[in-house]
Amino acid sequence: MLPLRRLYPLVAGVGVLGASMTLVAGRVGGPAGMADMTVARYAAVDGEHAAAALGLLGVSSLVLVLGMWAVRGPMGGWTQWLMPVFGVGAVVAALVPGTAVAEGALLVAMVAMAGAAALMSRRFAEDERWRAIARPMEWLALGAGAALAVLTYVSLPGHGVLVGLVEWTLLGVETAVLALVAAHLTRVAWEDAGRQGGVEEVAYGAARRVGVR
């Protein structure tokens, strides 16, 4: 049986991949008007593909937080709260798609993930094990921030024109954030488990030698 530190990133990665494939499946032959329809509203009319994808993304985000804690990743401060906020918000939006509650929950979720990406890019740069993805995370954080700024404009003075396109773009960037974290967490978890196994093997060998003597 795989230890939890190895299992968490695998479960999250499969969830993110499944969410992406579900979204593509729902878009092919799905209802028209996606560009001017919010994600939460679209989730209520596309045959539950978008709702299922949101649910998978939300659960994956929560599992990633557990995985980061398991390997003592750089998850202190606001980061450890913003990712769960995204997870809970996405799950709520999946459970009650098309409602005002879903609209609000998903908006809060996307804002939270944009903030988490910005914080993670800084924290990853300060951690040797995570420094390799600090720059890609920084670019994703900038993309999320830009999409969030455009979303603010189209939602207020823009009268909702192309609001769906902007929300889907933001959600796509945030899905990439989850995928990047899941991929690197898998590497870190397996490397940590390998080092721990090596230490245990050395300790076991030393104990055997002492016993022989």
With tokens 């455009």, the residue in question is 150
Q: What is the pLDDT of residue 47?
A: 65
Where residue 28 falls among pLDDT bands split at 50, 70, 90? Answer: low
Which range of 2-6, 16-20, 74-78, 188-192 scores highest in mean pLDDT? It is 16-20
Out of 27-31, 92-96, 205-209, which region has the weakest mean confidence (pLDDT)?
Answer: 205-209
Where residue 209 falls among pLDDT bands split at 50, 70, 90? Answer: low
- Dihedral (Cα; 33, 37, 40, 43), 10-degree rounding: 0
Which of the two residues, 170 and 43, has the higher pLDDT score? 170
Q: What is the pLDDT of residue 200?
A: 44
The span from the CA of 134 to the CA of 8, in Å, is 21
Q: What is the pLDDT of residue 198?
A: 44
User: How many CB atoms are located within 10 Å of the residue 2 CB?
Assistant: 12
What is the amino acid identity at position 86? Answer: F
Residues 67-90: pLDDT tens digits? 999 888 888 788 889 999 999 999
pLDDT over 60 at 1, yes or no: no
What CA–CA distances, in Å, run from 22 to 15, 173, 210? 10, 16, 57
The span from the CA of 139 to the CA of 153, in Å, is 21
Contact 56, 178 (CB under 8 A): no
Tell me what the mean pLDDT of segment 29-43 comes to. Answer: 75
Which of the two residues, 33 and 104, has the higher pLDDT score? 104
Out of 22-36, 39-53, 114-128, 163-177, which region has the weakest mean confidence (pLDDT)?
Answer: 22-36
pLDDT over 70 at 206, yes or no: no
With tokens 């022989």, the residue in question is 212
Contacts of 144 (CB under 8 A, 6+ apart): 113, 114, 117, 118, 170, 173, 174, 177
Q: What is the pLDDT of residue 26?
A: 65
What is the amino acid identity at position 143? Answer: G
| Closest to 8 (Cα-Cα) out of 197, 185, 175 | 185
Mean pLDDT rounded to a whole number for the chain? 84
pLDDT over 80 at 35, yes or no: no
Out of 50-59, 94-103, 156-165, 202-211, which region has the weakest mean confidence (pLDDT)?
Answer: 202-211
What six digits make up the tokens of 15?
Answer: 């969830």
What is the pTM assigned to this prediction? 0.86
Residues 117-169: pLDDT tens digits? 999 999 999 999 999 999 999 999 999 999 999 999 988 876 778 888 899 99
